Chain A
Amino acid sequence: MKRPIKILIAKAGLDGHERGALVVAMGLRDAGMEVVYTGIRNTPEQIVQAAIQEDVNAIGLSSLSGGHAAQFARVMQLLKKAKVTEILVFAGGIIPDDDAKKFKKLGIQEVFGPGSSIASIVEFLKKNV
């Protein structure tokens, strides 16, 4: 039997706004995926470690405080360092277009802004994982 898609929804940095992350986590779970949620206030190191330990297919990074640029870049750097290539990374939250462009260059595959539907995230994951 094929294993369901497994996702880590992660919040980096000090930001505690987790409605977005949780609604996505619950939505993906309700769509039949296996979802691990880190809770708030994680370092990039903790996120990458959790992703490897949990053997996930994808990491969804959430940010609403604007402090994401340094944190997300660090996650990508750590994944590269650990030679992890099979984990897809996507992001969501309040992320300005300029940052989104930079993230794509770093290897973050998609950025979901405010108002994105869960259906669009599910579709993206089914297509790309």
Chain B
Amino acid sequence: MEVPGQFPYTRGIYPTGYRGKLWTMRQYAGFGTARETNQRYRYLLAQGQTGLSMAFDLPTQIGYDSDDALALGEVGRVGVAISSRADMEQVFAGIPLDQVSTSMTINATAPILLALYLVVAEEQGVPWAKLTGTVQNDILKEYIARGTYIFPPTPSLRLTADVVEFCAKKVPGWNTISVGGYHMREAGCTAAQEIAFTLADGITYIQTCRDRGLAVDDFAPRIAFFFNCHLNFFEEIAKFRAARRLWAHIMKKRFGAKNERSLMLRFHTQTAGSTLTAQQPDNNVVRTTLEALAAVLGGTQSLHTNAKDEALTLPTEESALLALRTQQIIAHESGVTAETDPLGGSRYVEALTDRLEREARGYLTKIDKMGGMLKAIESGYVYKEIYRSANEHQKAVESKAKIIVGVNEFTSEKLPQLKRQKIDAQLEPRRRRELAAMRKKRGSVDKQLAALEKAARGTENLMPVIVDCVRRQVTVGEICRVLRGVFGEHRASHSI
């Protein structure tokens, strides 16, 4: 029988499980303005949350400032709007950056948002070496499922590796990539596909960084993962176990990693948004509890529990608090933290673990035969696999082969009455005024932008020049306009 804390880490990366250290409770939040987000963060920290998780609005994620015509209607909607240094400073006002760890869901613009965070740390007098946190920086799954890409894959991977390399030298406590299966699972893929496609993305990142001459053990320990946790309770627990085992083998055999920490698959988990229903929203608390419990039994390092109203709107303060309380109850009242991998040795769970490992290996072999994940993505293979699974799921729901309580069975006539989070209608005009004033006061940044363009045309690491730009209040949109000019833009061509 395998042992927790030992290769291949199927039963967990630490021998003592949660007895040594509980998972980090990290609720994804952020909306509207920097000021509102700052208030929500302070509230969550005061309630006992142990890490921040930053949501950005779509313009910020796709490299448009709040006053760009393409940002119309989207500013502050799905996260906080960050265009310049002033916004980032306000988000973290009164939150000392050496005392929190911050996870940022940011991909195409990850180098810029990381640079902004570093500049805020400077401002607060916190040395970069003391910072802990994560940038998602996982562009490959954006082409597959989430859609916030900007540039074509090749220059995008360059930016990914720039962050990895820069942090390995200057921000050693920073997790440089959070390789995500979450969004592919939300888009409809199965548990085995989630493992395979996520690890295939991970393999591509490791390979890209090695190709630029980095030694695997110098950067791999700072690459983490991000999984979904669905409702199929035992299969999900087995999924985490299979993913750990598979990754340890890949790192050892394929990449020759020696450092134990390179072999360990560390991961964040979020409960499955796609399992939540708009109908009978209170039921979602139960779904989320089951999913969170599976993530904990699967040995997650950090966890986000969804709020019950997320099938309808952004969570309210009350629903966000209940979501946090859900994991606090699991942590402190349920007793499940007493034993490491308590289901290890269960005939059923071990068999499921083996089956998922086998299925995921099958996909990985297929992807290798296609010439790697980048090729598999570009050919549309991954996308089609995921949406085929999504279509099958929908058909099963419609035929009632799959029951969803409150949706296709046990329904009630009463429609949900939920408080909806309103985004201030004056937000966009106000942001436009603020940015205009900032640009006027700041003066010309032509020199910085010219330096950026020159660097982008060459091969050097772009992080230093981006840090320099944001220090001088160059905006996210201005930086991306230059990079779009040099790298071009990715256009998806998918047919159904």
Contact = CB atoms under 8 A, between A and B. Distances in A.
Interface of A: 13-19, 22-23, 25-27, 29-30, 35, 37, 39-41, 65-71, 94, 96, 98, 113-115, 117-119
Nearest to A12: B73
A26 B73 CA distance: 28
Of A16, A29, A98, chain B has the most CB atoms within 10 Å of the CB of: A16
Contacts of B62: 14
B78 A66 contact: yes
B407 to A, nearest CB: 5
Interface residues of B, number: 44
B376 interface: no
Interface string B311-326: 1111000000000000
A115 to B, nearest CB: 5
Contacts of A23: 188, 387, 390-391, 394
In this complex, the member of B62, B72, B142, B493 whose beta carbon has the largest number of chain A beta carbons within 10 angstroms is B72
A37 B495 contact: yes
B279 A115 contact: yes
Contacts of A37: 494-496
Given A67-B73, A67-B74, A119-B398, A18 B147 contact: yes
Nearest to B495: A37
B148 A16 contact: yes
Given A18-B147, A65-B77, A94 B311 contact: yes
B187 interface: yes
Interface string B270-291: 0000100111000000000000
B410 to A, nearest CB: 13
Given A23-B394, A94-B311, 16 more contacts: A13-B74, A14-B58, A14-B74, A17-B147, A19-B188, A22-B496, A23-B390, A29-B496, A37-B496, A39-B492, A41-B147, A65-B74, A67-B58, A70-B72, A115-B404, A119-B398
Interface pairs A-B: 6 shortest CB-CB: A16-B147, A70-B73, A14-B58, A67-B74, A114-B278, A67-B73
20 contacts: A14-B59, A15-B58, A15-B74, A15-B147, A16-B146, A17-B147, A18-B187, A19-B390, A22-B496, A37-B494, A40-B147, A65-B74, A66-B314, A67-B73, A70-B73, A94-B311, A113-B278, A115-B311, A115-B404, A119-B398
Contacts of A18: 147, 187
Contacts, number: 104
Contacts of B404: 115
Contacts of A68: 73
Interface in B349-401: 387, 390-391, 394, 397-398
Contacts of B77: 65-67
A63 B73 CA distance: 12
A14 B78 CA distance: 11
Contacts of A113: 278
Contacts of B72: 70
Nearest to A69: B73
Contacts of A119: 398
Contact of B423 (A35, A39, A66, A70): A66
